[in-house]
Amino acid sequence: MHNQSLLIAQSPPLEGTAELTGAKNAVLVIMASLILTKGKSILSNVPFSSDVRNVMTLLQNLGAEVKYAPDLQTLCVDTSPINDWRVNHEMMKRMRASILVMGPLLARFGQAEIALPGGCVIGSRPIDLHLRNFVKMGVRIIESGDTLSASVTRFNAKKIILDYPSVGATENIMMLATCAPGTTKIINAALEPEVLDLIKVLKKMGAHIQVVAPATIEIEGVKELKPIEHAIINDRLEAGALLLATAITGGNIVLPQAPAFAMDVFLQKLQQMGHKVEVGDNDVGVTLRATKDPKAVSFKTGPHPQFPTDLQAPMMAAQCVADGTSVIEETVFENRLMHVRELQKMGAEVKVIHDQKVVVTGVEQLYGTSVIASDIRASCALMLAGLVAQGTTIMTGVHHWQRGYDALEKKLKILGAQVKMVDGQNFSVQDKRLFFGYESSVKD
């Protein structure tokens, strides 16, 4: 629903324990991978975010039977009835991740028809690495208008060298290669934790896949893949959001399921800010006790295991109220700083050096105002800033928040955050008081 707003009031230090949901970036591609099989698969730990609902509809449109059990967070997908390889244009426009069905459809039907994808507006986000390497594997692609028709009758093997370790291209090529005769090697592959979760799933299906250091994935094609059961890896980005919400408000949190093994650089940055971070046994679970005087840290995003681009905006929000100066460089996307203007509106001191680099000087106080979320992770940054801003922050563009997170605002609320999802977009000071009560620190 596009006509909602998030109201965020200055909140006390967050305190408590929170459960995580499965990773959006793993579940979307794993749902797409089920097209490779014929039969009933069961996925658990599935977040019910709007992107997940979109892929459910996409699979249903292709003919699959899809059922979600909200109490169990379990998704059952029967892919036997899939009989179409043409993806509804509206679906593709709604979500860039729809491109991830192209490899599986080609593997199953030898053809696929898709439209050029939509999604978050964070840079030009081309799909050339997907398409160019499909062609290298023997796929013919005809582009007419914004429709791509792809078909393959004979595969050519197969050393695929990625110019950049693209997550989506790695996943798409790997899924097609699972059923292509011979061995495919993807050199300079992305090895994000979500890619590794997909590899786990494909192996359960019966695929022959090996990861070879430093960053090669070798796939030996098999004739057939079988349905699976799988619990989706916990979301390191939701964990990051909860840790930062606790850090920025000066609280304490325990995340027993946090995949610390996939969060090293980020957790180290939190420690360098002065927060106390403890990791559980086997690198799972994180406890954070926030310092009241966080120090600014600089960081630069990059492919895993470097600092994740999806935590750049949220981490920037934390730097806005830290002591000192932080240099932040975004190297993964060329236009992922749209949150900067909104943070500036709240009183943040952020100087843009160029499209991919900013310098943040921490301020004593941010101030609540009306802000617009431009993408999923920008919405997270604005939420975090809102938690410490004086007064009330009114965030629109909330559909981005809902695309990426499964009711995270409710988890934050349980931890003590003053957050409310409301219908409508225009609120007066009076309304905000009604939402939060007169005791809240509304001073507009």
Q: Could you say whether residue 197 binds ligand UD1 (CB under 6 A)?
A: no
Task: Annotate 151-167 with b (16+ C-beta within 10 A) or e (fewer).
Answer: bbeebebbebebeebbb
5 contacts ligand UD1 (rule: CB under 6 A): no
Query: Do residues 346 and 279 make contact, with C-beta atoms less than 8 angstroms apart?
Result: no
Count CA atoms within 13 Å of residue 167 on its CB side: 23
* Residues 176, 168: Cα–Cα separation, whole Å: 12
Bridge partners (DSSP) of residue 394 are 7, 370
Residue type (1 letter), 414? I
Bridge partner residues of 147 (DSSP): 115, 144
- Our finding on whether 128 is near ligand UD1 (CB under 6 A) is yes
Residue closer to ligand UD1 (CB basis): 123 or 324: 123
- Segment interacting with ligand UD1, rule: CB under 6 A, options 101-109, 159-167, 228-236, 279-287: 159-167
Measured from the Cβ of residue 231, the count of other Cβ atoms closer than 10 Å reads: 15
Q: How far is the CB of 116 from ligand UD1 (least distance, A)?
A: 12
Q: Smallest distance from the beta carbon of 211 to ligand UD1, in angstroms?
A: 17
Please confirm whether the linkage preceding 305 is cis (ω < 30° from 0): yes
Cβ distance to ligand UD1 smaller for residue 36 or 389 = 36
Cα-based distances in Å from 221 to 109, 212, 343: 16, 17, 49
Does 129 help bind ligand UD1 (rule: CB under 6 A)? yes
For ligand UD1, which is the closer residue by CB, 13 or 123?
123
Tell me the C-alpha to C-alpha distance, in Å, between residue 132 and each of 36, 128, 172, 228. Answer: 21, 6, 12, 30
Q: Is 402 in the site for ligand UD1 (CB under 6 A)?
A: no
Which residues have C-beta within 8 Å of that of residue 325, sequence separation ≥ 6?
296, 359, 360, 361, 362
> Is 168 an interacting residue with respect to ligand UD1 (CB under 6 A)?
yes
Confirm whether 120 is a catalytic residue. Answer: yes
Q: How far is the CB of 241 from ligand UD1 (least distance, A)?
A: 13
Amino acid at 20: L
Q: Is 305 in the site for ligand UD1 (CB under 6 A)?
A: no
Determine how many CB atoms are found less than 10 A away from the CB of residue 204: 15
Tell me the Cα Rg of the chain.
Answer: 22
By the rule CB under 6 A, 52 interacts with ligand UD1: no
Residue among 91, 169, 217, 267 that touches ligand UD1 (CB under 6 A): 169
What is the pairing mode between strands 392-396 and 370-372?
parallel
From the CB of 192, what's the least distance to ligand UD1, in Å? 6
Provide the edge-to-edge strand list for the sheet that holds 4-9: 370-372, 392-396, 4-9, 418-423
Q: Which is nearer to ligand UD1, 169 or 242 (CB)?
A: 169
Nearer to ligand UD1 by Cβ, of 124 and 428: the residue is: 124
Q: Cβ closer to ligand UD1: 27 or 395?
A: 27
Query: Binding to ligand UD1 by residue 166, rule CB under 6 A?
Result: yes
Among 197, 235, 238, 310, binds ligand UD1 (CB under 6 A): 310
Residue 406, number of CB atoms within 10 A of its CB: 22
Residue nearest to ligand UD1 (CB): 168
Indicate the DSSP class of residue 229. E
Q: Give yes or no for residue 193 binding ligand UD1 (CB under 6 A).
A: no
Q: Is 143 in the site for ligand UD1 (CB under 6 A)?
A: no
33 is a site residue for ligand UD1 (CB under 6 A)? no
Q: Does 195 bind ligand UD1 (CB under 6 A)?
A: no
Q: Residue count at the site for ligand UD1 (CB under 6 A)? A: 23
Query: Two tokens at 192?
Result: 């994000």
Catalytic member of 76, 120, 320, 380: 120
Q: What is the largest CA-CA distance in the chain?
A: 69
* Residue 126 sits in the site that holds ligand UD1 (CB under 6 A): yes
| Closer residue to ligand UD1 (CB): 28 or 394 | 28
Of positions 94, 130, 230, 400, contacts ligand UD1 by CB under 6 A: 130
Tell me the CA distances in angstroms from 224 to 38, 205, 221, 343, one per residue in order: 9, 9, 9, 51
Q: Which of 9, 27, 32, 97 binds ligand UD1 (CB under 6 A)?
A: 97
Residues at the contact surface with ligand UD1, assessed by CB under 6 A: 25, 28, 96-97, 123, 125-130, 164, 166-169, 190, 192, 194, 309-310, 332-333
